[in-house]
Amino acid sequence: MRATVYSKTGGPDVLQLVERPVREPEAGEVRVRVHVSGVNPTDWKARRGAHEGEELPFPEVVPNQDGAGTIDAVGTGVPADRVGERVWLWEAAWERAEGTAQEFVVLPGSQAVRLPDGVSFDVGASLGIPALTAHRCLTVSDLGPRRLEPGALTGQTVLVPGGAGAVGHAAIQLARWADARVISTVSSDQKAGLARAAGADHVINYRSGEAREEILALAPEGVDTVVEVAAAANAGLDEAVLGANGIVAAYAADSPDDLALDVRELMYRNVRYQFVLVYTIPETAKDQAVSDVAFAASEGMLAVGEDAGLPLHRFPLEQTADAHAAVEGGAVGKVLVDVN
pLDDT attached to residue 256: 62
- Residue 162 has what DSSP assignment? S
pLDDT attached to residue 138: 98
Q: What is the mean pLDDT of the chain?
A: 96
Tell me the helices (H) and strands (E) count for the chain, helix number first: 10, 15
pLDDT attached to residue 255: 66
Q: Could you give the number of structural domains in the chain?
A: 2
pLDDT attached to residue 336: 98
Q: Which amino acid is at 281?
A: I
Write the CATH number for 76: 3.90.180.10
65 with 157, same domain: the answer is no
Write the CATH number for 168: 3.40.50.720
Instruction: Identify the band that residue 84 occupies on the pLDDT scale cut at 50, 70 and 90.
Output: very high
Give the pLDDT confidence of 243-252 residue by residue, as tens digits: 999 999 999 9
Residue 293 host element (H or E): helix 283-298
Instruction: Identify the band that residue 294 occupies on the pLDDT scale cut at 50, 70 and 90.
Output: very high
114 with 15, same domain: the answer is yes
Instruction: Tell me the C-alpha distance between 70 and 80, whole Å.
Output: 13
Contact indicator for 40, 65 with CB cutoff of 8 Å = yes
229 with 115, same domain: the answer is no
Q: Which amino acid is at 28?
A: G
Q: Determine the structural domain holding residue 322 and report its residue range.
A: 2-127+302-338
314 with 271, same domain: the answer is no
79 with 53, same domain: the answer is yes
Give the pLDDT confidence of 49-81 residue by residue, as tens digits: 987 778 899 999 999 999 999 999 999 999 999
- Judge whether 296 lies within some domain: no
